[in-house]
Structure 1
Amino acid sequence: MKSIKFFSSLLLLTFALACSSSSDSPPNCENLANATAAARAAYEAATPSNQVALCNAYKTALQNEIDNCGDEFGDLQDIVDGLNCTASTTTGTLSMNLGSAPLEFDEITVTTTGTTRHVHGEKSNTTSYEIDFDVEIGQTGANKINNFQLRLFSQTYTPLIPAAFGNNWTTNITVNSSTSVVGTFRGELANASQTSAQDLLGGVVDINF
């Protein structure tokens, strides 16, 4: 009977030590990094209605990772410092022709993450048309528009390179300041399966933010 009591006491002590050890264990930095990545993805897909909330959520995730896991080279802090989570007022023109049909976006937002400026456009009277692209802060000249996407109804179109019918993808940014982006873009677009194509002509970005 005594040996049974001693064995039971040893089990209780082992369990108590295990609980104490887990409560003092370091944070799971992989989980925090994954949470930051998820917050960034959500923020980069933000719409005008949830942009501020998702920006603040991303900033909080970054700060949690810094506080619990450190930031040896200051990369995460640089992102935090570069985030502007206030609602922006963007005016100007973001338009194009799809073949002969004009398409203009009257709801435009510009967000900045690090050195990348993200432009998003929607039509206020429908959810069927959206445009997204990135430009690096301060860069001007040819081929400075990156990650271009045009969503039409349920399809997402990206530049078709090389072009199938001769309208090669071309972009040119002439102004890229702290308050404005001006440039042009045109070319053939295709959906992910390349079963549908769009001929984008006369694309214009001329916005102030």
Structure 2
Amino acid sequence: MKRLKLVSTVLLLTLLSLSCSSDSDSAPSCEEAASATLAAAQAFQNATDENFPELCEAYKEALQDQITACGDTTGDLQTILDGLDCTVPTTTGTLSVNLGSAPVVFDVITVTTTGTTRHVHGEKTNTTYQIDFDVEVGQTGTNKINNFQLRLFSQIYTPLIPAAFGNEWTNNITVNSSTSIVGTFRGEVVNAGQTSVQDMIGGVVNVDF
């Protein structure tokens, strides 16, 4: 999910100090507005697809309140406000894998970023099939996919290491930008009870978000 780069705590506190020092009479309301902006920024940074519009609008309102209460002599707050787009970002592309000879295409894809971790989630419409994994922001190369899970028939499968039948778990991320993830994955996956092994080949992630 795309995220506007948020104002850091240090910058917000600097803006607070500069703006409030210009008018001592407005200091209390300015401090309250700046604190509210910081809280709204932190909440927005952790937004999900479900609460993204609500937290984005709350952040915009807090920024406007701070500009009204404190002023904005540098224009930094207005720049952030103008750059906020509260429409839910969309994810497009391909997320698929073959289970043996049977292709599974996940046609509902979401990508969210929390801190330095990017989470990819896929669902196949009208089934219980789901796929989830993490990649660290910006990392490329082999073995960069973490916390891989494949949900089939209400069971969760994870990579079987070492493989039982020779199809070793492997993955390779070739593109990992602020808007795209591209890579491949394959290997044997096993359910929690170690009673079922699925042969997963030809996994592809090629998404824009």
Same fold (TM over 0.5): yes
- 1:103 aligned onto 2:104: yes
Q: Which runs of 5+ in 2 are unaligned?
A: 1-45, 59-84
Q: 1:133-164, CA deviations, whole angstroms, 9 ceiling, x for partnerless residues?
A: 00000000000000000000210000000100
**What is the alpha-carbon distance in structure 2 between the residues aligned to residue 134 and residue 87 of structure 1?**
21
Q: Which runs of 5+ in 1 are unaligned?
A: 1-42, 61-83
Q: 1:1-39, CA deviations, whole angstroms, 9 ceiling, x for partnerless residues?
A: xxxxxxxxxxxxxxxxxxxxxxxxxxxxxxxxxxxxxxx
Corresponding letter in the other structure for 1:102? P
Equivalent residue number for residue 145 of structure 1: 145
TM normalised by structure 1 equals 0.60
Per-residue deviation at 1:193? 1.0
**What is the alpha-carbon distance in structure 1 between the residues aligned to residue 106 and residue 174 of structure 2?**
20
Query: Is the contact between residue 53 and residue 88 of structure 2 (CA under 8 Å) also seen in structure 1?
Result: no
Equivalent residue number for residue 12 of structure 2: none
Percent identity of paired positions between Structure 1 and Structure 2: 74
Equivalent residue number for residue 93 of structure 1: 94
**What is the alpha-carbon distance in structure 2 between the residues aligned to residue 142 and residue 169 of structure 1?**
11
**What is the alpha-carbon distance in structure 2 between the residues aligned to residue 86 and residue 113 of structure 1?**
19
Per-residue deviation at 1:53? 2.9
Structure number with higher relative contact order (C-alpha < 8 Å, ≥ 6 residues apart): 2
**What is the alpha-carbon distance in structure 1 between the residues aligned to residue 178 and residue 112 of structure 2?**
12
**What is the alpha-carbon distance in structure 1 between the residues aligned to residue 54 and residue 159 of structure 2?**
32
Equivalent residue number for residue 170 of structure 1: 170
Per-residue deviation at 1:123? 1.3
Give the secondary-structure state (helix, strand or coil) at the position aligned to 1:52. Answer: coil
Corresponding letter in the other structure for 2:146? N
Query: Is the contact between residue 172 and residue 183 of structure 1 (CA under 8 Å) also seen in structure 2?
Result: yes
Per-residue deviation at 1:200? 0.2
TM normalised by structure 2 equals 0.60
Query: Is the contact between residue 52 and residue 88 of structure 2 (CA under 8 Å) also seen in structure 1?
Result: no
Query: Is the contact between residue 133 and residue 145 of structure 2 (CA under 8 Å) also seen in structure 1?
Result: yes
- 1:207 aligned onto 2:207: yes
Q: 1:85-144, CA deviations, whole angstroms, 9 ceiling, x for partnerless residues?
A: 862201100001000000000100000000000000001222x10000000000000000
Two-structure CA RMSD over aligned residues (Å): 2.5
Larger radius of gyration: 1
Paired residues, what number? 137
Query: Is the contact between residue 133 and residue 146 of structure 2 (CA under 8 Å) also seen in structure 1?
Result: yes
CA distance 1:176–1:97, change in 2 (3 Å): same
